[in-house]
Amino acid sequence: MNRKQLTLVVLLGLVLGGLGLWMSRRDAATYQTTGPGLGQKLLPEFPIYDGALIRIQQGTNELSIVRDQETWKVKERYQYPANFTEVGDFLRKLWDLKVVQSEPIGESQLARLQLLEPGPGTNTATKVTFQDASGKTLNTLLLGKSHQRRSDDAASPFGGGYADGRWLLVPAAQGPKTAALVSESFSQIEPKPDRWLNKDFFKVEKIKSVEVTHAQATNSWRIYRETEGGELKLADPKLDEKLDTSKASPVGNVLSWPSFVDVVAPDLKPEDTGLNAPTVAKIETFDGFQYTARIGNKTTNDNYHFQIQVAANLVKERAAPADEKPEDKERLDKEFKEKLGKQEEKLKQEKSYEPWTFLLSKYSIDALLKDRKDLLATEKKEGTSDAKSPDDQPPDSIVNPLLPATDDEDAEDADEEDPDSGGE
């Protein structure tokens, strides 16, 4: 590095350092650093590993997330697994939560910071209660009004600011109350069951064939490809049928990354979900996986009742070529074993979705809802032409004999009368 380059690096460091100092001072200025306990943990003895139930109350709504051994589950969604990352992140933030501002607060001031107990009224808090396996309450927390940071851009389309913190209250059995402002907004902590569900789902890869059976047999179809990534073809086409590859292309990637909207009560009757007479899609992959999807009725929100079954014929032994070199065998055997292990884990995980009925958006399964005719090319009938007939000409192309001749018409008449133009 020469002297000039070194000078540039030093200058850049000074600029970045000054920018960082300015931003830190600006951020500190957004809070009034007053009151007791500043910089201290809000919940110094929060039992991050002892909780067995998290209850969230907001208004008149309530949600419970319960721990079953090492798995968190959503009680209001029939004990479906909760998003472990979301739950763990919430608990970690609470354990590490620090006070950036505190304010003594009386009963008459709770409404101002939206820290009233949950209920049908206004200015109420979101209440979070933590219990252990015996039902003993470990902690209770009220999440109140958000703290808004003013935007530097006065013309911001987002209302001139955004939430960068929230007022919290740890209810005390007796004595004065102190509201604490923290730097977490906790905007996602709501008693909405679908938002806490584990949205991990199955994934179809390397599609070999897709066969869809509709209630009306003439609407059914099967599309396949002979090689991985090869051209899609229609199985058993009729004489007048030709697959439109542009229309069929979504089929080649269907359910490659599906996501569900919600789960359905396990005790719903098949007649209520339409799964007593479903549209059935059978998908086979080049990796040996077989998926059977059952699609039922559509809800008012354009979501479909959906069930999935998964099976696989996995290759357990690697077929080594006769001329394989010894130095390659160990590496290839290891790679094959690792791939097989991942496939077996994938099969185990995806079979865990079989007992459930899900709601999937129309977008996720639209390619499987198509009728046979929707995948076929439309050919023009013989004798048709794109040329317009005289009747199709615009009105201004028709000459009105009652109107004076245009310049073009005068020129034509002059050509006819001029003997030099070649006319008789």
Question: So what's the pLDDT on residue 38?
Answer: 83
Please tell me the pTM assigned to this model: 0.77
Question: So what's the pLDDT on residue 164?
Answer: 85
Question: So what's the pLDDT on residue 293?
Answer: 98
Taking a C-beta distance cutoff of 8 angstroms, is the pair 185, 146 a contact?
yes
Question: So what's the pLDDT on residue 417?
Answer: 47
Task: Tell me the pLDDT tens digit for each residue of 369-396.
Answer: 999 999 999 876 555 555 555 555 555 5
Distance CA(406)–CA(315), nearest Å, equals: 83
Instruction: Tell me the pLDDT of the chain (424 aa) as tens digits.
Output: 444 443 454 455 445 545 544 444 444 444 455 555 688 999 998 989 999 999 999 999 999 999 998 899 999 999 999 999 999 999 999 999 999 999 999 999 999 999 999 999 999 999 999 999 999 999 999 999 999 876 655 545 555 567 789 999 998 765 678 999 999 999 999 999 999 999 999 999 999 999 999 999 999 999 999 999 999 999 999 999 999 999 999 999 999 999 999 999 999 999 999 999 999 999 999 999 999 999 999 999 999 999 999 999 999 999 989 898 888 898 999 999 999 999 999 999 999 999 999 999 999 999 999 999 999 998 765 555 555 555 555 555 445 544 455 555 454 554 544 545 444 3
Question: So what's the pLDDT on residue 379?
Answer: 72
